[in-house]
Structure 1
Amino acid sequence: MNVKQQSKAVKTSAQAGVGLLHKAFEILNLFQLDHADWSQSEIIEKTGMSRSTVSRLVRYLAETGYLAEIPKAGRYSLGMAAINLGQRAQAGFDIRVICQPVLDKLAKITSETIILTVFDKGSNCAVCVDQIESRRGGLRVFEEVGASFPLHAGAAPRSILAALPDPLVDGYLEQELLSFTPQTMIDKKRLKEDIAAIRSQGYAVSSEETYEGAAGISAAFLNSDGQPLGSLAVAFPVHRLGEQERVIMGRQLRKFADEISRLL
């Protein structure tokens, strides 16, 4: 075999390996929260792969711990190796570092306080994890890192609430809603109308709902499944921006939040 033939053989082998890797990830990506276990016949039907390919890849993934066979059911779920990989990824994941360039760009454009929140599913709250304080003179608005607010109170939390599926929104609104100022939105009919508006325009607006004298505009960013991970918000004194300026800023926020979604 000459050099050219050897090079072609190596290239063909590498392409075949990449193809199998792609198929393995295609199988692993089938396992989602709303469909946590699959049979081999279901995998074949969903992916269009041959029975022999699915059998070989499922057997390999099970042997390496990325899939686990459910006893006597003929079905598979994600295994401990996949869970461990997710835990290691989470431990090394710092959303602040990933989002920092976007926050910096937005701060330069607006000169107002920029707030980054993450969605705490356990407590149904938006938690402030980072901020850039306003460079403008006069009254400034800022939030303490680590502070949290429930999903109905203020623009940053409510943009997350609006990004949740309807059943979760309805479940959230069944509970008693806390009020922080006289302007906190706690009327459930009004909240549903506001959620519909947020979904339509792509961003949330609030005025004096968590702090008197402070207003906010926010857009949620999402994971690959379309579920909210957190929000990007601009906070400013309530009288600083007019209606038209708020619309322009809301549209800018939507674009920046979409950029974060792509980065994540």
Structure 2
Amino acid sequence: MATTTIDVHGAQTVSRAVRALQIVAAQAPEGVRLVDVARELALQRPTAHRLLKALTIEGLLQQDDRSRRYTLGPLLFELGISATHQFNLKEVCQPVCDWLAEQTGDTTFLFLRSGYDAVCISRTQGPYPIQTPSVPLGSRQPLGVSAGGLALLAALPEDEIETVIQAVAPRLGAYGDLDADELLELVGQARLSGYAVTGNHAAPGVRAIGLPIYNAAGSPIAALAVATTQARMTDERIRGILPKLKTAAREVTRLLRQ
């Protein structure tokens, strides 16, 4: 019985540590305050401080002496470099992203699923002269906020969709007053139509369309999206972009399965 208790406690600690790293990553490069991490993790400040201090000692976080804000530490960079040869999704997908941006004229995004979030790992601008405010490269948003994140969320099993929406609900209000009910409705529309469409949440004045990318096991791990102004991204334009987006998603899936 004691062993089980220790195991559960250890798993909770690891889960909190990972979530703390995700919270800090979401605020890069400005960093995050202790009070913000404590609130997000529903922890008392002393408990959150001990957790952040341990991560800082190990090099996973670092703290600015003046602002006292926490940012990602050097060890994460080293670990990322070590993993590059095993996970080169951006490298594999970039030629397809370039082609899609050229074909549509608009900005193409590649998102990677990371827990309850979607991380933008590639952004390619097309030749259309008016480009939009866009999701920054490397930014992290809750699944469902961006078109890529919505495509990923809609591709999950129904019980997992409910779990994700429940988990991200407290963070949705920062994205165009999005809430859990609206997100669930967007998921339903995406599952019905076979593609995700969202506007004015990930970036003001922007509408985008997205499709998931599946690994060899059939699990959605990433998503492609095309974004432009709301005025330009009409329903008619979506119908024109969709075949190109489907071609790109199929090609990336094929490349990942090789």
In which range does the TM-score fall when normalised by the shorter chain? 0.5 to 0.7
Aligned twin of 1:107: 101
Post-superposition offset of 1:203: 1.3
- Deviation of 1:197 after TM superposition, in Å, equals 2.5
Counterpart among 89, 92, 96 of residue 95 in structure 1:
89
CA contact (8 A) 1:221 1:232 kept: yes
**AA matched with 2:117:** C
Which residue in 2 is equivalent to 1:254?
A: 246
Q: Is residue 239 from structure 1 mapped to residue 251 from structure 2 by the alignment?
A: no
Matching residue of 1:119: 113
Match among 125, 135, 145 for residue 133 of structure 1: 125
Max radius of gyration: which structure?
1
The CA distance in 1 between the partners of 2:134 and 2:188, in whole Å, is 28
Instruction: Give the letter aligned to residue 255 of structure 1.
Output: T
Counterpart residue type for residue 221 of structure 2? L
CA distance 1:253–1:183, shift in 2 (3 Å): farther
Q: Deviations over 1:12-57 (max 9, x none)?
A: xxxxxxxxxxxxxxxxxxxxxxxxxxxxxxxxxxxxxxxxxxxxxx
Q: SS in structure 2 opposite 1:179?
A: helix
Q: Which residue of 1 aligns with 2:150?
A: 158
1:202–1:254: 8 Å Cα contact kept in structure 2? no
- Counting aligned pairs with the same residue, the percent is 28
In 2, Cα distance between equivalents of 1:258 and 1:89: 25
Q: 2: CA distance between counterparts of 1:183 and 1:137?
A: 30
| Pairing 1:26-45 to 2, within 5 Å after superposition | none
Gapped regions of structure 1 (runs ≥ 5): 1-87
Q: Distance in 2 between matches of 1:180 and 1:211?
A: 11
The runs of 5 or more residues in structure 2 that have no matched partner are 1-81
2:141 is matched with which residue? 149
Q: Cα distance, 1:165 vs. partner? A: 1.2
Query: In 2, are the aligned partners of 1:220 and 1:232 still within 8 Å (CA)?
Result: yes
Q: Secondary structure at the match of 1:235?
A: strand
Tell me how far apart the structure 1 counterparts of residues 176 and 87 of structure 2 sit (CA, whole Å).
38
| Alpha-carbon distance in structure 2 between the residues aligned to 1:230 and 1:136 | 25
Q: Are residues 1:218 and 2:210 paired? A: yes
CA distance in 2, matches of 1:90, 1:180: 32
Could you state the TM-score of these two structures normalised by the residue count of structure 1? 0.60
Instruction: For 1:145-224, list aligned pairs within 5 A.
Output: 145-175=137-167, 176-177=169-170, 178-182=172-176, 184=178, 186-188=179-181, 190-224=182-216
TM-score with structure 2 setting the length: 0.61
Is contact 2:165–2:180 with CA below 8 Å preserved after alignment? no
CA distance in 1, matches of 2:135, 2:185: 27
| Count of aligned residue pairs for this structure pair | 173
Classify the secondary structure of the residue corresponding to 2:95: helix
